[in-house]
Amino acid sequence: MARSQGAALDRKKLMADPIMVCTIVVLIAFLTLFILYPLAILLVDSFVGDGNGFSFSVFRRIFAMPNFTTAITNTLKVGFLVGILSTVVGLLFAYVEVYVKVGKVVGGLFKVVSMLPVVSPPFVLSLSMIMLFGKAGLITRFLLGIYDNNVYGFWGIVIVQALTFFPVCYMMLKGLLKNIDPSLEEAARDMGASRSKVFLTVTLPLLLPGLGNAFLVTFIESIADFANPMIIGGSYDTLATTIYLQITGAYDKAGAAAMAVVLLCITLLMFAVQKYYLEAKTAATLTGKASRGRMLIEDRSVAIPLTVLCGLAAFFVIMMYLCVPIGALFPTWGYKFTPLTFKWFAQVFTKYKGLRAFRDSFVLSLVAAPITALLSMIISYLVVKRNFKSKGFIEAVSMLAMAVPGTVLGVGYIRGFSGGLFHTGFLQGIYGSAAILIIVFVVRSLPTGTRSGISALRQIDKSIEESAYDMGADSFKVFMTVTLPLIKDSFLSGLVTAFVRSITAISAIILLVTPQFLLITVQINEFAEKGSYSIACAFATILILITYGAVLLMNLFIKFFGTSRKLKEAE
């Protein structure tokens, strides 16, 4: 009774606040128009695309294509294997960092490995794999004298994706392992159990939901990945590349829409299991803080092999990333490796319109980043601090973009806006413009910022804001002067994350970008497909420097001006 009365009072307060009502209406309109509408249009196209009314003819047609059914099988095979490999390697790294006493050098390598996928374009490791282990590879051809190897195809995609995505699992599982109370494991040790027995009977069962969560996150990332299969896949078709080729090569928009729906169904199913089942089980299994600090393993027979193994793996991954800037210094990759030259960096700006590509990418990402960060904080605020009927809708739809592959979203925007809204011509002007690219950047980065904002806002006591309301401040003033300053670190983190994700994006925008705009990632993809690896590496190196610089500036800003520093000074 008291709860229903409180909810009714919250709704009454909400309706008396015109700024909050307008914000909610605008948010619902934005999420519906730019997330739900394109996906709905895909569904409609896939059922009526052949002009025969509502039917399954388009699905029957695409499933009759041998390359499409092969692509589904290939995608699932790659996704499952990459998910397993990434989870296992991520668990090994996380276990060594949390349980084993490692030196500063190895600890530093771990931090670098966790950072590299964030600041790098998604296809950097594909370039490195080709340059090191391809037919003209530095290692295979010039060091080992192997000429008939083939790095393209299934194993090429699996290795590259596993190396790209395992740091995600490592970061997820590291947090879970830290939350396990060490007294549970030490009790088993006191009863005579070996370390392996403790791990198998105590630690692993507690981690199982988290392992499943990490596997599904990686599986979704793998099957939605477009850039790596496009560069290193060769003739090995995946769903993402097949959809791209169907719309750009066969000009079959209805078929591409139906293929996109199939891929979307797979990712949505996995996302639903990960979000609503495994995340809840993980939270229920690992709750509260550890009762005391963990005693790190110092047994040399255990610590040395694990530390050396992870150190070598981390060093190999870092060397793969370093191969990109090194590759941009060679005169001709695969034929001439000396003397080192900066001519490719010069040609980026003099011959290949690099200045325009960096300007367009930088400006579009710079516009999208603050919009994304502010929208994320507003959505987080509404979800955590407000109670109204459409709250669940806003949260669910804003998170939905996380489960939608970029290629699917790109096809949805083509079908939804190329002829205007519902083919009426309304909003047709945004198609092919900078606006649609900015909107895609915002939509793709929105879930990450929203999750970060929700976590930060749940730590703020409601009474802090209520005292501001009691003093006569409206919702806008409370949000800008009380709430936002308290979550400043999360806002800045979301700002830089959105910028980095936008400037390194490719799968969502490769179908939408027009000759009016040159984007860095599209340029890198085109040069890599042509085999111009040195110039592709030059572009990628400059892009990595830009993104790493942005992250570094954000960390410095938070360190010197962030909320955490002010709290320490107050103490």
Cα 425 to chain centroid distance, Å, stands at 33
User: Could you identify the residue written with the tokens 């590349």?
Assistant: 241
pLDDT at position 334:
61
Query: Does position 114 have pLDDT exceeding 90, yes or no?
Result: no
Query: Does position 563 have pLDDT exceeding 80, yes or no?
Result: no
Dihedrals phi, psi of 444, to nearest 5 degrees:
-70, -30
In the chain, residues under CATH classification 1.10.3720.10 are: 56-327, 348-394+432-571
Mean per-residue pLDDT over the chain, rounded: 82
Dihedrals phi, psi of 332, to nearest 5 degrees:
-145, 115
pLDDT at position 372:
92
Contact 238, 153 (CB under 8 A): no
The CA distance from 388 to 386, in Å, is: 7
% pLDDT > 70, the chain = 88
Q: Six-digit token pair at 506?
A: 């490719």
**Average pLDDT rounded to a whole number, residues 193-215:** 82
Measured from the Cβ of residue 334, the count of other Cβ atoms closer than 10 Å reads 18
The CA distance from 270 to 277, in Å, is: 10
Query: Does position 53 have pLDDT exceeding 80, yes or no?
Result: no
Q: Report angle CA 452, 410, 525 to the nearest 5 degrees.
A: 90
pLDDT at position 338:
67
SS (H, E, C) 437-490: HHHHHHHHHHHHHHHHHHHHHCCCCHHHHHHHHHCCCCHHHHHHHHHHHHCHHH
348-394+432-571: CATH superfamily: MetI-like (1.10.3720.10)
What are 277-297's pLDDT values in tens digits?
766 666 555 555 555 567 777
What are 410-434's pLDDT values in tens digits?
889 998 898 888 878 888 889 889 9
Which segment of 59-73, 465-479, 509-523 scores lowest on mean pLDDT? 465-479
pLDDT at position 28:
92
325 vs 251, higher pLDDT: 325
pLDDT at position 531:
80
Contact 139, 195 (CB under 8 A): no
**Average pLDDT rounded to a whole number, residues 45-50:** 75
Contact 257, 49 (CB under 8 A): yes
The CA distance from 519 to 285, in Å, is: 44
pLDDT at position 336:
64
Contact 285, 131 (CB under 8 A): no
The CA distance from 304 to 106, in Å, is: 11
The CA distance from 546 to 544, in Å, is: 5
Q: Report angle CA 497, 502, 508 to the nearest 5 degrees.
A: 130
* CA dist 242 → 13, 238, 357, 374, 436 (Å): 51, 6, 27, 36, 23
Query: Does position 441 have pLDDT exceeding 50, yes or no?
Result: yes
Query: Does position 248 have pLDDT exceeding 80, yes or no?
Result: yes
User: Could you identify the residue written with the tokens 């904002």?
Assistant: 453
pLDDT at position 31:
92
Domain range 56-327, CATH architecture: Orthogonal Bundle (1.10)
* CB burial readout 44-72, b (16+ within 10 A) else e: ebbbebbeeeeeebbbebbeebeebeebb
* pLDDT confidence bin for 554, thresholds 50/70/90: confident
CA atoms within 13 A on the CB side of 246: 26
Partners of 332 in the β-ladder: 336
pLDDT at position 440:
93
53 vs 308, higher pLDDT: 308
Query: Does position 261 have pLDDT exceeding 60, yes or no?
Result: yes
% pLDDT > 90, the chain = 15
What are 444-476's pLDDT values in tens digits?
989 888 887 887 777 776 777 677 766 767 677
Dihedrals phi, psi of 368, to nearest 5 degrees:
-70, -35
Query: Does position 567 have pLDDT exceeding 50, yes or no?
Result: no
Q: What is the H or E stretch that residue 183 is in?
A: helix 182-190
